[in-house]
Amino acid sequence: MTYDYGAIVALADPTRRAVFEMVAVRPRSVAELTRALPVSQSAVSQHLKVLREARLVRSDQVGTRNIYRLDPQGLDQMRKWLDGMWTEALASFATELEKSEEEGQ
Amino acid sequence: MIPATAIAPVTSIVRVKATPERAFRFFTENLGQWWPSNFSIGSSPMRDAILEAGTGGRWYEVGQDGSTCQWGEVLAWNPPDRLVLAWRITAEWQFDPNLLTEVHVSFRDLGNGETEVTLEHRGLENYGGAAAQMVGLFSSPGGWHAALARFAEDVAAA
C-alpha cells in the first residue's frame, strides 16, 4: 500500500493551511475566504488549486460560484486501510482456530 | 462542526471449520493468539491481547514491558451469535475515549460444524470529527500519514 505525501506538502505553507482550516470548518467560496485572509483573491485561488490537486478539498459549482469543501478521499484512504487490517485479522483468526481444532484443544 | 460524511462500513467475512460456540470462544478467549502482532498501538512490542468477557469488558493489548494499551470495550455480548466492540483508536493510532467506532462480529451457523464469521466496522464517519485536526496530524512528524506509511511498510515486510 502506498500513501500520497502530496497532502503533507500542500499543507506546508501557512496561508494554504489557513485556507484548508477554514474550509474544514464549513464549505466556503473563494470570495468568502479572501475576505477573511490578508491575501489577494488570486492568491487564495492559487492555494485552492494546490489543495484540490492534493485532494484535500474539492469544489462544487453553486450558481456562478465555486464552493470549496473537504474532500472525503482522506477518509476513503483510512477506510481502505482498515479493510486490509480486518481482512488480515480474520484470516489469522481462521488459521489459528483451525490449527487449535486439529490439535484437539 | 463538520457535517458527517456517510461512509460505508468496512466488512470482512471468513468461514471457519468450527461451531459458532467454539468460534465465539476462540475469538474472545484467544485474542492474543490470533490477533496479528503488527496491529499494535503500544510503544512496546505486543506480548498479548485480552478481551474481557461480558458487556463493558475492555479489550486491550499488553506490551512486552507489561504496559497495557486499551482499544475499547464490549458494547454487546451475545454468545454464540454476536459481539459488538467499541474501537476507539484514532487515525493517529492512539486510544481516544471520545472517539466511538463499532466493530460488529456475527457468527452464523452453516451446519456441518462450520461457521461464517462476519466483521463490520461501522461509524467510520466519526473519524470525520478528527478532520478539523487534520492539519495538525498532517504537519506533525508523527502524524497520520507517517504512522500509516510506517505501518504499511511493516505489513508489507511481514
Residues in B touching A2 (Cβ below 8 Å): 152
Q: For residues B153 and A4, is the Cβ–Cβ distance under 8 A?
A: no
CATH code, B10-127:
3.30.530.20
Four-residue CA torsion sign, B143, B99, A79, A73: negative
Q: Which residue of B has its CA nearest to A7?
A: B138
For B111, other C-beta atoms within 10 Å of its C-beta total 7
| pTM summary value | 0.65
Four-residue CA torsion sign, B60, B152, B136, A69: negative
Q: Which residue type, as a one-letter code, is found at position B55?
A: T
Enumerate residues 6+ apart whose C-beta is below 8 A from B69: B40, B41, B42, B60, B61, B63, B95
Nearest-CA distance from B94 to chain A in Å?
14
Encode pLDDT of A29-85 as tens digits. Answer: 999 999 999 999 999 999 999 888 877 788 988 888 899 987 766 656 667 778 888
Q: For residues B31 and B12, is the Cβ–Cβ distance under 8 A?
A: no
Task: List alpha helices for B1-158, DSSP H.
Answer: 20-29, 31-34, 134-139, 144-157
Q: Average pLDDT over chain B, rounded to whole? A: 79
Residue range B66-93: mean pLDDT, rounded: 92
Q: How far apart are CA B56 and CA B85, in angstroms?
A: 9
Residues in B touching A70 (Cβ below 8 Å): 2, 131
pLDDT for the residue numbered B99: 85
Domain boundaries, chain A: 1-71, 72-105
Residues in A touching B16 (Cβ below 8 Å): 93-94, 97-98
The continuous run of DSSP H or E covering A63 comes out as: none
Cβ <8 Å between A87 and B12 = yes
CB pairs under 8 A between A and B: 122
Q: Which residue of A has its CA nearest to B12?
A: A87
pLDDT for the residue numbered A18: 83
**All three cell numbers of B122:** 461501522
Residue range B60-75: mean pLDDT, rounded: 95
Tell whether domain A1-71 is in CATH 3.40.50.720: no
Q: How far apart are CA B74 and CA B69, in angstroms?
A: 15
Residues in A whose CB is inside 8 Å of some CB of B read 1-3, 5, 7-8, 11-12, 17, 20-21, 24-26, 70, 72, 74-79, 81-98, 100-101
Q: For residues A32 and A44, is the Cβ–Cβ distance under 8 A?
A: no
pLDDT for the residue numbered B135: 36
pLDDT for the residue numbered B22: 94
The model's confidence at residue B152, banded by pLDDT at 50, 70 and 90, is very low
| Entry field: residues in chain B | 158
Q: Cis peptide before B80, with omega less than 30 degrees from 0?
A: yes
